[in-house]
Amino acid sequence: MVLDFNTTFNLNRDVMPWVLLHGSPVQERIAQKHEVLGHLGPGIQNPAEKSSRTLRMVNVERNGNVLYTWKGTSGLTCIGLYEPNLAHNKLLYYFEDDVHVISCSLNRENTLLAVSYCMSAEENRCLPHWSGLRYMAVLVEIQPINNVRVIKVVETSMRVQFLYPTAEGLHQFPESHLLVFSEEKYIELCHISVATENGNDVVITTKGQFPKDRIAEDVVWAQWDAPGQRLFFINPKHSSCVLHCVQFYPDDHFKYVFEVPLEITLSDQTLSLVNLGCDLCDESGKGRPASPYLQVFTNKMGGLCLIYVHPFPVAQEITYQAIFLHKGYTKTFKAATTMTDSSRLTKVAFIHLDSYVAVYVPNQFLHLVNITHPELLCYHLFLTGTDAQLSGMCCDCNVQSLWRSCAAECCTGIVFSVGISTEALLSLLSRTKLDCERLAILHIILLHQSHLEMKILDWLCGHLSVCRSFDPIQEFIIASSYRNVSTDAVHLDKLLPYTSVPLWNEEIQGVSCTTDLTDMPILKVGAFKGFWETFHSELEYMKVTRQRFQYGSNMHRRDWYKLINEVDTREKRNAIYQRTVLENVKKVILHMGTWRIDHRRAPLHQEEDYHDKELMGLMMVKLKDHLSQHLLHVSKSKIDQIVVDYVSKQLDLVCLIVEFSCRQYNVEPCAFGFHGKGSPSEYYLFQIMCLISEAAGRMCMPLPPGYHTLHLVLGVRCLPLENLLHCIDSQILHLTEAFVIKLLKELDDDEKNEKMKYSIILRLPERISAKVHHLWDHAISNNFIAMKYLNRSLSRLKTQELNRQSSPVRGTRRIDFLPLNYLIMMLSEIEERAHNNPFEDDNIDAAFLEEIALKQTAVLLGLHRKLEN
């Protein structure tokens, strides 16, 4: 099962034994009257049986405390408290009448209990004008129980909820503040002053009516966000609805944060309430509305999403909307079902998972809607069949999302902590045949589960060629690098790529999606703190631009190739450039950690790969410039550290893939030498490194020093010479100085090796060839030395020859072949200059070069055949 449900509270397990043994004054009264419980009269019901039958959960407070109620046989109604941190139950209050508790809430200091309840018909008859008085809200002093104050007596149902100070405010307040939600469609905030007497006794000091603030009127829907102490509510306006948000603060004030129009339709006949107690039918026969089709979700990244299910499904199809207020657009999903009865829509459940919201329809589908990166449908995980089932849940009970990673079944009295099962995701990743599911699972794991990198690598090794719509190596490197630095600065998550798939045009079976622009919230406050600061920055960024900085995009690929061409230009060879680039590279190499694994098998970072190091340094310079343009509020040293972290993480991941592959397929250390033929495991490692090189090229990122040398060595062992040379010519393999030196030193000069050496030397860049020819004592190498020398000498004398007005031909001999005559003249000048300047680097025997030049000229003219005859 994709979702893990772990029971944190169970009414029958955590409360029922205490109620039966200690917590029921009903049992005590009956036991005193009848001496023993077993001698009840034939018409008297067993109190234990009635307590277990009427025990139910009423509310879960922000700190996790659970409020519950049960009834005894003598007409008492009891309210109890379970504190999960102490695993302790306590009786808070009991009514000596048989009432139905609708809602109750306990303040943070556990000194005041607010209760709204419905009086039975018998109790109403005892009151004057009883026909119009059925619902009552009272405030109880419970430390000690010595006073009960009436808050309101009305004809409609009410809900009550105490405000809780934020986690930072640990001090007690002289006031408690209580929200009252009336079905007459208004919301009030009551202010209750308290004082301490006789040490620990807390009493209410407010005389008369409690001071009240009218928070909202004409409300058709409201949701209480307990962790954030926020209230969302909707007012109908013409043909649409307007969503409002109120933020409550510990110091007795509140602010209206924003309002935004929504293109949805809600019934204005009844008031729907979310996260304000458990929704159960009352004993008067008046049932609460079905579970709401609308709920708001926030996450720590500044995301604010509203999920709305259309209440009237079209033939075997459910339509639901995800309104991403922080992005400014709405996604409308249409999911196929096998339902024939629309009443089953009452079982739709929303489960908050921080970066995801699970939309669950029993026996139909489970849809993990991505809040943080909702752009494409492939970033959401849509499951049907057995993969969409939830274990341990009651099919006939609706799941109510209390807050992030917490849900409740009110009918069974169970509270769950909910999370995404990584084991189930990995199992699904291994057996699914759909690229959309593979990509969505990788997105979930790589962006939110850092400890599972090795598990993903294990999957990568066996499934590199199964993905057709995306590159899993790219997804692994990009997503893991993004996760490593995305929370370091505001907006940084928008300036770096988070996935390898910028576009997705394939359909996903069972669900369709359309995207529409929507209005962004109008913020009404000037100063932002906590969540609202992040939310505001999201809005401001989306208003300015929606473009992302991605190295793999076509927009930046041209700049990357320009960097490659700039590496060897002389204009870049200045002291400032060298110092900047090499300092950047040094920081990255020192910051890397994966390659320091003891007893590592892959010999990476054991050479100076100048080309990739300079590309690395240049890329860091470009990335710093870009981040500096957008992160104006971030210091230069912080940006430098972000860039070092990002680049080193990318290189670390490449090293990790190579090292893991070596260990996974038991590649021996001898595989990194030229002697012997490659084994199947070495050939597989060579393929993986080819895929890494290809992925890095598309991502426009450098590779760790030593990578190309290792890749070339494996190519020599695993490929025929023709295929090896083809890979070099196609830029699949990149020649390095370390590889050529290793090749010339370790291989002898038999016919096969000589052919290989000659073929590779022919393909060497000038920068490398000038350094390695002297290592091979062979006629071919000597020939190249002479050719390079002559080419360099002729280039130097070209300017002098053009400026020379007239000059007699000098030389030790005269030949009737003018080109050779000219060559001898220049060589004589070089030899003479060498005698006059013994410190010049190009001090080579001119006679030797004359002989080589004469032979080459004879070969070119075909004269060597005549001389031989």
By the 8 A CB rule, do 282 and 230 touch? no
Once rounded to an integer, what is the mean pLDDT over residues 132-138? 76
Do 755 and 789 belong to one domain?
no
Give the pLDDT score at 809.
Answer: 47
Once rounded to an integer, what is the mean pLDDT over residues 799-823? 53
By the 8 A CB rule, do 653 and 692 touch? no
Q: Which tokens go with 781?
A: 């190498």
Helix, strand, or coil here: 358? strand
Q: Higher pLDDT residue, 423 or 796?
A: 423
Once rounded to an integer, what is the mean pLDDT over residues 799-810? 50
Give the pLDDT score at 150.
Answer: 86
Q: Which tokens go with 181?
A: 């939600």
| pLDDT of 190 over the 50 cut | yes
Evaluate whether residue 645 is within a structural domain.
Answer: yes
Once rounded to an integer, what is the mean pLDDT over residues 629-642? 84
| pLDDT of 333 over the 90 cut | yes
CA-based Rg of the chain, rounded to a whole angstrom? 39
Give the pLDDT score at 833.
Answer: 64
CA dist 676 and 557 (Å) reads: 39
Closest CA to 247 of 264, 262, 259, 261: 259
Once rounded to an integer, what is the mean pLDDT over residues 630-658? 86
Can you spell out the DSSP letters for 800-813?
HHHH--------S-
Which one-letter DSSP state was computed for residue 496? S
| pLDDT of 407 over the 70 cut | yes
Give the pLDDT score at 78.
Answer: 87
Spatial CB neighbours of 273, under 8 Å, sequence gap ≥ 6: 159, 181, 221, 222, 223, 224, 279, 292
CA dist 66 and 85 (Å) reads: 11
Q: Roughly how many angstroms between the first and final C-alpha of the chain, as a whole number?
A: 88
Give the pLDDT score at 233.
Answer: 94
CA dist 103 and 108 (Å) reads: 17
Do 632 and 757 belong to one domain?
yes
Do 643 and 791 belong to one domain?
no
Evaluate whether residue 309 is within a structural domain.
Answer: no
Q: What residue ranges in 97-229 does DSSP mark as E strands?
A: 99-106, 112-119, 135-142, 145-154, 158-162, 175-182, 186-197, 201-204, 212-217, 221-225
CA dist 696 and 821 (Å) reads: 53
CA dist 568 and 87 (Å) reads: 70
Instruction: State which of 746, 761, 777 marks the end of a domain.
Output: 777
Give the pLDDT score at 555.
Answer: 43
Domain count, the chain: 3
Give the pLDDT score at 441.
Answer: 92
Evaluate whether residue 416 is within a structural domain.
Answer: no
Give the pLDDT score at 460.
Answer: 87
Helix, strand, or coil here: 258? strand
pLDDT tens, 261-273?
A: 988 888 767 788 9
What's the half-sphere exposure (Cβ side, CA atoms, 13 Å) at 823?
A: 19
Evaluate whether residue 407 is within a structural domain.
Answer: no
Do 569 and 718 belong to one domain?
yes
Q: What is the mean pLDDT of the chain?
A: 77
Distance of CA 138 to the CA centre of its chain: 46
Give the pLDDT score at 386.
Answer: 85
Q: Which of 110-119, 252-261, 305-314 has the lowest average pLDDT? A: 305-314
By the 8 A CB rule, do 601 and 669 touch? yes
Q: Higher pLDDT residue, 330 or 492?
A: 330
CA dist 281 and 398 (Å) reads: 13
Evaluate whether residue 96 is within a structural domain.
Answer: no
| pLDDT of 285 over the 70 cut | no
Give the pLDDT score at 126.
Answer: 52
Can you spell out the DSSP letters for 279-307?
----TTS-PPPPSPSEEEEE-TTS-EEEE
Q: Which tokens go with 137?
A: 């809200």
Q: Which tokens go with 363?
A: 């026996």
Q: Determine what percent of the chain falls in helix, strand and coil, rounding each to the nearest 5.
A: 40, 25, 35
By the 8 A CB rule, do 339 and 401 touch? no
| pLDDT of 452 over the 70 cut | yes
Q: Strands across the sheet with 349-352, in order? A: 349-352, 356-361, 365-370, 381-384
Do 654 and 714 belong to one domain?
yes
CA dist 222 and 182 (Å) reads: 11
Give the pLDDT score at 322.
Answer: 94
Give the pLDDT score at 283.
Answer: 42
Percent of the chain having pLDDT more than 70? Answer: 71
By the 8 A CB rule, do 428 and 387 touch? yes
- Phi, psi of 148, rounded to the nearest 5 degrees: -130, 125
Distance of CA 676 to the CA centre of its chain: 45
Do 664 and 806 belong to one domain?
no
| pLDDT of 346 over the 70 cut | no
The structure tokens 């029921």 sit at: 24
| pLDDT of 597 over the 90 cut | no
Instruction: State which of 715, 742, 777 marks the end of a domain.
Output: 777
Q: Higher pLDDT residue, 208 or 596?
A: 208
Evaluate whether residue 795 is within a structural domain.
Answer: yes
Q: Which of 440-444, 630-634, 801-805 has the lowest average pLDDT? A: 801-805
- Residue burial 549-561, b: 16+ Cβ < 10 Å; e: rest: bbbbeeeeeeebe
Give the pLDDT score at 37.
Answer: 40
Once rounded to an integer, what is the mean pLDDT over residues 356-366? 89
Q: Higher pLDDT residue, 615 or 788?
A: 615
The structure tokens 């849809």 sit at: 367
Helix, strand, or coil here: 315? coil
CA dist 617 and 626 (Å) reads: 14
| pLDDT of 288 over the 50 cut | no
Once rounded to an integer, what is the mean pLDDT over residues 81-97? 88
| pLDDT of 422 over the 50 cut | yes
Find which of 294-303, 585-594, 736-745 is predicted with most confidence, using mean pLDDT: 294-303
Domain that holds residue 448: 427-510
Once rounded to an integer, what is the mean pLDDT over residues 840-852? 59
Give the pLDDT score at 453.
Answer: 83
Evaluate whether residue 528 is within a structural domain.
Answer: no
Closest CA to 738 of 777, 714, 712: 712
CA dist 212 and 188 (Å) reads: 6
pLDDT tens, 221-247?
A: 999 999 989 999 998 887 778 999 999
Helix, strand, or coil here: 79? strand
Do 582 and 683 belong to one domain?
yes
| pLDDT of 765 over the 90 cut | no
Once rounded to an integer, what is the mean pLDDT over residues 308-325? 84
CA dist 140 and 117 (Å) reads: 13
Whole-prediction pTM: 0.81
Do 708 and 639 belong to one domain?
yes
Evaluate whether residue 863 is within a structural domain.
Answer: yes
Closest CA to 605 of 587, 590, 615: 590
Give the pLDDT score at 250.
Answer: 80
Give the pLDDT score at 214.
Answer: 92
Instruction: State which of 758, 777, 796 marks the end of a domain.
Output: 777
Do 730 and 617 belong to one domain?
yes
Query: Which uninterrupted H or E stretch holds 789?
Result: helix 779-803
Please, which pLDDT band fits residue 296 given cuts at 50, 70 and 90?
A: very high
CA dist 352 and 297 (Å) reads: 7
Do 735 and 859 belong to one domain?
no
Do 627 and 756 belong to one domain?
yes
Do 478 and 625 belong to one domain?
no
